[in-house]
Structure 1
């Protein structure tokens, strides 16, 4: 009976975080306006779930976040992939891989990162913040890795850039990634660290009560 109650509590908490993710996307609360751009905090519920409920929950929440991104890609007509020269069903497959798989991995890995950090930080003084900053950083890392691989093999990219520019692109992948994510990624990492870490610390106090 106690195990069933624990499982039910787990499912309720997971469903609540899924609802928060969907609400943040629908209402636009996930996007914080900055000068000339927006910073996303969609990784916050994923990080909170991964740290409070475990890596499996992190993977599920990451998958939900990925599905939201995939839906956005559908609404925009997969314009980026079509521009790169991909056509037909491969566009849908690549978009699915690019939007969903990195987010699932991110959620799982955040749970692992937190568990590793909490073993060294018994009082959870900073481990929640380590997990909080890991979510946006890993999200950017995994997403950009898949995106770069997709573009390096794009059918028309070499034709568009030319052989010389394509060679420079391949030799300066890290500079391209840095230019693509820019300051926004650093701001999202800082926000994820502070918000996710603070929420988890507050939840820890409430749940202990």
Structure 2
């Protein structure tokens, strides 16, 4: 009897995970992952990742983060790996570095969101604040991990110094934070706010409905 219940729980877990994967794919195909804001677009692709990480655990967060990474890698393929070519990389290294920048970073983000939520939920007396912090953690960590790898790649680009010159390259190295701010801009802040509100609200509501 116990074994049957355990198998049922595993089945429900896989169905819920598959549903979130399907939602992510639909959001990418239909363009619903981008919310138009005044002069900007905010991506909410981290929302399903955050919801899965908080409701299903870090492993599910890692899987969903991997799906998000695969979508990002596919987008890089469609744009001809423009970011890597801009940094001065060529040949097969472009594909490999783009893969490292898009997929492992998102997997790590999903896993970390699950861990952060679990730790906070244990001490969250309101059983509410932890959902919004978890929702905020997803876009914050997504930007942090992605940009950290991107900065490392740009700093070690084989031909970037020749393209910019030693003086400009030195300025670039001395102003990393300015580069990051210019690259992600206000869009990252908007994604953090939107992700926090939407992910936290959806996850709290679902937790009440399914009584988890």
Same fold (TM over 0.5): yes
Please list the CA deviations of residues 39-97 of structure 1 after superposition, one character each: whole Å capped at 9, or x if unmatched: 10000000000000000000000000000000000111112212222111111100000
Is it true that 1:129 corresponds to 2:143 in the alignment?
no
Is it true that 1:42 corresponds to 2:45 in the alignment?
yes
What residue number does 1:182 align with? 185
Q: TM-score, normalised by structure 2?
A: 0.96
| 1: CA distance, partners of 2:171 / 2:63 | 38
| 2: CA distance, partners of 1:159 / 1:175 | 21
What residue number does 1:109 align with? 112
- Paired residues, number: 209
What residue number does 1:99 align with? 102
Q: TM-score, normalised by structure 1?
A: 0.97
| 2: CA distance, partners of 1:115 / 1:185 | 25
User: What does 1:166-181 correspond to in 2, within 5 Å?
Assistant: 166-181=169-184
| 2: CA distance, partners of 1:51 / 1:122 | 17
Superposition misfits of 4+ residues, deviation over 4 angstroms: none
Gaps of 5+ in 2: none
| 2: CA distance, partners of 1:45 / 1:182 | 23
| 1: CA distance, partners of 2:118 / 2:83 | 37
1:69 to 66, 69, 72: 72
Deviates more, 1:3-12 or 1:26-35: 26-35
Tell me, what secondary structure is at the counterpart of 1:124? coil
| 2: CA distance, partners of 1:204 / 1:195 | 14
Gaps of 5+ in 1: none
CA RMSD of aligned residues (A): 1.1
| 1: CA distance, partners of 2:169 / 2:27 | 39
